[in-house]
Structure 1
């Protein structure tokens, strides 16, 4: 397919672009960072755009057969001031609204929209288990995800819509884990916060494979939890990461240190939720990394 994409230069997008091209897709990369986009692909069409704002970039959506929407300012890199919360909201919700407006106006237009969301939709819990039918939570991230997903709804009458509620993405060069690796390399890593909070995760390779599958398979429709089938507690994650790195993992990573590293986004790992994907289980999706130890071994090897 010819695909219009947002978020292509981010942590997930950097791996997704080559995966999409390997699957035979032709890409239009909408970005505020054209140099970064061109380093990712020598064949993709690069469109300079601030997708938070309407503009000429929307004309390119009509030329595409599919749309991938992964735009969004990183959650776990800055303090959540009122100004930054607005930026988090605009980069996701305004972009999605502008994309959906373009899809609705196109004739014939894209046949499929794959749009990101997050397991933060469910709020936080140390005891409950969430599936795709679970209720929305009641904190800032939950409300942000709800608004983000609601923005996709007008497209449902125009094309097939897949919303991926993405867990903590594991990769060597970004995300929460990318910032935690140096702590463990120094031998001072260990359980994060209480260690009892749940971590619903997915290896970046599997997220890319899932996105490719969602584009091609008409059975993908509606909401899908993009998480591996074996969530763990943060204590279990710390033990597995220490083993993968050959480092001790006994010293707790205190909440203040994590907040210094991740800002207010530390709540993503200090508070969690146990999420399962009934959608992927029913469809028999074949994970390359279904279990955390193997996923961390791959990430640690790639980062060394």
Structure 2
């Protein structure tokens, strides 16, 4: 298949590109800026090129939209504006391009977020749960998904991404650091839920959503066994043989990171109902297995 990816040089996009190429697909990158070359020798079009010549995407089977300003930064007013506008601009541009194609792609995969459900220590959420727009992140996700609805001439899948575990991007390396320094412990109350997913399952499920024509609408990209923040720390400590004795008070996290602290101080117990109904099998359904792969398995063994 021929698959175009926006935001392809980011954490998830890089892993997804490698996975799709290994599966024998042709991959195209859509970028803000022109690039002369890349390590994978992947053809790249800019947004402006595609707006002028949308036919460059004719024959594309799927488009995966991962574009958007990183949320892993302090949320100043200007940062909030960039976070929202970058997502809406990409969704609008993509809708305009797809509308002009003679034959639209079979599917557009739109990145989204599990923050759409709001936060809770007691409730469990899946794709049938209503949206709860109660804070900045849930507002971002709501607007992001509305942007995807502008594409009306093909199948749309909205992948609501959880905390993605990988060593080369996302929040996980920062979460590991205290344990590597022997000062790990729960964050805040420790009771908040952490709905996680291994990066390998993250890209596998996107490929699954591309292939399965029955899947449309929201899809939770989370492993089937979320844990509390306290249990997450206990699992890391066990795998790394480190203590889990030094809690970080909520107030300290809020002082250091401002509103961004909500990513780890608040949480949701989110389950992947749609994926399991459509036969997706997680390679890493349990946290221990995911952590052992990421932290203890040599890179050469992962390729076997």
TM-score by length of 2: 0.91
Unaligned runs of 5+ in 1: none
Match of 1:225 in 2: 220
| 1:110 corresponds to | 105
SS at match of 2:220: strand
Deviates more, 1:261-270 or 1:144-153: 261-270
- Give the Å deviation of 1:111: 1.6
1:38-117 to structure 2, matched below 5 A, reads 38-39=38-39, 41-42=40-41, 44-49=42-47, 55-56=51-52, 58-76=54-72, 78-117=73-112
Partners in 2 of 1:36 and 1:269 — Cα distance?
Answer: 38
Q: 1:274 to 1:243 in 2, by over 3 A?
A: same
Aligned to 2:19: 19
In the alignment, does 2:158 pair up with 1:163?
yes
**2:210 matched to which residue of 1?**
215
Counterpart in the other structure of 1:176: 171
Task: State the superposition RMSD in angstroms.
Answer: 2.3
Alpha-carbon distance between aligned partners in 1 of 2:56 and 2:229, rounded to the nearest angstrom: 43
Following superposition, the deviation at residue 209 of structure 1 comes to 0.3
**Matched residue count:** 298
Provide the C-alpha distance between the structure 2 equivalents of 1:66 and 1:119, rounded to a whole number of angstroms.
Answer: 23
Checking the alignment, whether the CA contact within 8 Å between 1:31 and 1:47 is kept in structure 2 is yes
Deviations 1:77-122 (A, max 9, x none): x211111111111221210111012111211121210110010111
Q: Report the counterpart of residue 188 of structure 1 in structure 2.
A: 183
CA distance in 2, matches of 1:50, 1:176: 31
Once residues 122 and 36 of structure 1 are traced to their aligned partners in structure 2, the CA distance between those partners, rounded to angstroms, is 41
Rounded Cα–Cα distance in structure 2 between residues aligned with 1:190 and 1:59: 53
Query: Do the aligned residues in 1 keep the contact of 2:54 with 2:100 (CA within 8 Å)?
Result: no
Cα distance in structure 2, aligned partners of 1:89 and 1:80 = 11
Please state how far the C-alpha of 1:181 moved relative to its aligned partner: 1.6
Distance 1:126 1:191, change over 3 A: same
Per the normalisation by structure 1, the TM-score is: 0.91
Contact 1:48-1:57 within 8 A present in 2 as well: no
SS at match of 1:235: helix
The counterpart of 1:142, out of the listed 125, 131, 138, is 138
Hey, what's the Cα distance between the residues in 2 that align with 1:185 and 1:35? 37
* Residue 279 of structure 2 is aligned to residue 281 of structure 1: no
Deviations 1:242-293 (A, max 9, x none): 1111111111133355457755322111100111121112123110000111
Cα distance in 1 for partners of 2:189, 2:141 equals 25
Q: CA deviation at 1:62?
A: 3.8
